[in-house]
Amino acid sequence: MVSNKIKIYLEMIKFQHSIFALPFAYLGAFLSEMRIPDLKTLFWITLAMVGARSFAMALNRLIDMEIDRRNPRTAERALPKGLISLKCVMAFSALSLGFFLLSVYNLATICRYLWPFVIIPFVIYPYTKRFTWLSHFVLGLCLGLAPVGAWIAVTNTLSVEPFLIGGAVLLWVSGFDIFYAIQDIDFDRRNGLFSLPARFGIKKSLAIIKILHTASITILALLGIRLGLGLFYYAGVGVAAVLLFYENSIIKHDDLSRLNLAFFTMNGFVSIILFCFVAFEVTLGG
């Protein structure tokens, strides 16, 4: 049935995770000119983000298919289980890339020249776990480019500020990806794959996550100073800081029972709440 096929595709790309991915792009779009962008621009930014993320996820599933097949945690995914063919995933990936490029050409002119810098990290990332534990930071870069791209799409210019947002997102995402990698620490070690938990162990990894998330909040605070933002923005950063502190506090090296709560639920809340406060700042602040 068509509905079942759609469900398989949406599950393959973890479409529901867009709940914490899209707000990253909107942060850049809203803060770029301290106002809500016009609906046309927001539409193309949204389509670009969905297209790029869908392309990246589908490509990741293709490249990691054999690894996913060997890993008990991922063996039930659509490709390893044979619920979807390689050709279909390749076609889906190409279509997603097409939507991204269509969006790019309907946004600011400069985007037409810079889009490869967005796609290249997506292509590189799936391979990084095969040779470096810095793979988490490459993933962070992939999502960190979202607010940078959205800022540029609205203003048609390059400046320092979007890179501050992107840097904060990079550190934030790298931290929660390390959380995610803890699930596969034994599998990674047995199969010669690289991750920060596999290299340094769980206890040190949790300490590194705390450092990354503290640095992320610090950069967001500095961004507020640079842009002259007000109470709503700092309230949002404060709430994000509290939630990230809670997220880090519920995971212990000897108790990982709430790992899924930290990775899936908390990060979705953090990004959405921060974006909502930014929206309040640009519409009600000042």
Q: Is 117 exposed, middle or buried (0-12, 13-18, 19+ CB in 10 A)?
A: exposed
List residues bridging with 255 in a β-sheet: 252
In this prediction, residue 263 carries a pLDDT of 58
In this prediction, residue 259 carries a pLDDT of 64
Its pTM stands at 0.93
Nearest one of 202, 201, 206 to 250, comparing CA atoms: 206
State the alpha helices, DSSP H only, in the chain: 2-12, 18-32, 39-63, 65-70, 78-81, 86-104, 111-114, 116-128, 135-155, 161-182, 185-190, 196-227, 231-249, 259-260, 267-284
Residues 268/19, Cβ–Cβ less than 8 Å: yes
Alpha carbon 90 to its chain's center: 22
pLDDT per position as a tens digit, 174-189: 998 998 899 899 999 9
Residues 277/233, Cβ–Cβ less than 8 Å: yes
pLDDT by residue for the chain (286 residues), tens digit each? Answer: 656 667 776 676 666 666 678 899 999 999 999 999 999 999 999 999 999 999 999 999 999 999 999 999 888 888 888 888 889 889 999 999 999 999 999 999 999 999 999 999 999 999 999 999 999 999 999 999 999 999 999 999 999 999 999 999 999 999 989 988 998 999 999 999 999 999 999 999 999 999 999 999 999 999 999 999 999 999 999 999 998 998 888 777 666 666 665 555 667 778 889 999 999 999 987 6
* Check whether domain 2-284 has CATH 1.10.357.140, yes or no: yes
In this prediction, residue 27 carries a pLDDT of 95
CA distance 241 to 230: 17
pLDDT per position as a tens digit, 221-268: 999 999 999 999 999 999 999 989 988 887 776 666 666 655 556 677
* Full DSSP string of 9-49: HHHHTTGGGHHHHHHHHHHHHHHHTTSPPPHHHHHHHHHHH
In this prediction, residue 236 carries a pLDDT of 96
Distances (CA, A) of 125 to 32, 132, 133, 137, 140: 28, 11, 11, 9, 10
Q: Let me know how long the chain is.
A: 286
Residue burial 256-282, b: 16+ Cβ < 10 Å; e: rest: beeeeebbbebbbbbbebbbebbbbbb
